[in-house]
Amino acid sequence: MKEPLSMIKYFPELELVKDEALRQKVDEIWNDLWQESAFQRLEDLPVIPGMDYPHVRHNRSVLHHVMAAADNLEEFHGVKLDRDILICSVLLQDASKLVEFEPAPGGVHMSEKGRQFQHGFFGAAAAMKAGMPMEIVRNIITHTIDNPVYPPTVYSKIIFYADQIDMAGLKADTWQKKGVIFRDSPYE
Ligand SMILES: [Fe+2]
């Protein structure tokens, strides 16, 4: 068994989650996937295979974009969003990378699991198993363009766009409109 990850060390924003049970579940989900992961150091997990840039820095940056957007919506429009839902969703959206990617000679590759399932699947499945609110599970699965359903709620849209903003900042965004299947959401 590997040394458990200290979530607060890597993601100090977890402290901002007010609901202790949710905070605990984020920690457990990451640590469960960490034990399954082939990585030995979280610092070696990249944003994507072939890109030598640390995932944790990207993930934290996305969270800060998301929180800024939530602040702006509240200040300018009086739209109040549940910050616990937002923070937990963003901190879990990419936890699946721990098992989707694996170290390999010459760099990080997609694992068998990563090739078999869409990005985010294993994080969403773990969140569902842990009893996370369905809004969080949905935000995880819809945060990626891999998912055929367009993000249906203000929460999921903020996360989806913030993620892509960050990837654009890293010159690594992969948006192609032709890759999106537009149809009525089954979630509403
Ligand atoms: Fe992602």
Which CATH number is 7-169's, of 1.25.40, 1.10.10, 2.60.40, 1.10.3210? 1.10.3210
Please report which confidence band the pLDDT of residue 174 belongs to, taking 50, 70 and 90 as the band edges. Answer: confident
Q: How far is the CA of 144 from the centre of ligand 1 (A)?
A: 6
Tell me the one-letter amino acid at 120: G
The whole-number average pLDDT for the span 46-65 is 97
Task: Note the pLDDT of residue 172.
Answer: 86
Q: Which residues contact 16 (CB under 8 A, 6 or more apart)?
A: 83, 87
Task: Note the pLDDT of residue 96.
Answer: 98
Q: Is the pLDDT at 175 greater than 90, yes or no? A: no
Q: How far is the CA of 94 from the centre of ligand 1 (A)?
A: 5
Q: How far is the CA of 59 from the centre of ligand 1 (A)?
A: 8
Closest-CA residue to 48 (of 180, 131, 171, 133): 171
What is the Cα–Cα distance from 38 to 42, expressed in whole angstroms? 10
Q: How far is the CA of 71 from the centre of ligand 1 (A)?
A: 22
What is the Cα–Cα distance from 153 to 82, expressed in whole angstroms? 13
- State CA 167 to chain mean position distance: 13
Task: Note the pLDDT of residue 54.
Answer: 97
Read off the pLDDT of residues 101-120 as tens digits, 9 standing for 90 and up: 999 999 999 999 999 999 99
The whole-number average pLDDT for the span 158-166 is 96
Read off the pLDDT of residues 6-40 as tens digits, 9 standing for 90 and up: 999 999 999 999 999 999 999 999 999 999 999 99
| Percent of the chain scoring above 70 in pLDDT | 93
Taking all residues of the chain, what is their mean pLDDT, rounded to a whole number? 94
Task: Note the pLDDT of residue 6.
Answer: 97
Q: How far is the CA of 35 from the centre of ligand 1 (A)?
A: 20
- Taking a 5 Å cut-off on Cβ, the residues next to ion ligand 1 are 94
What is the Cα–Cα distance from 12 to 32, expressed in whole angstroms? 19
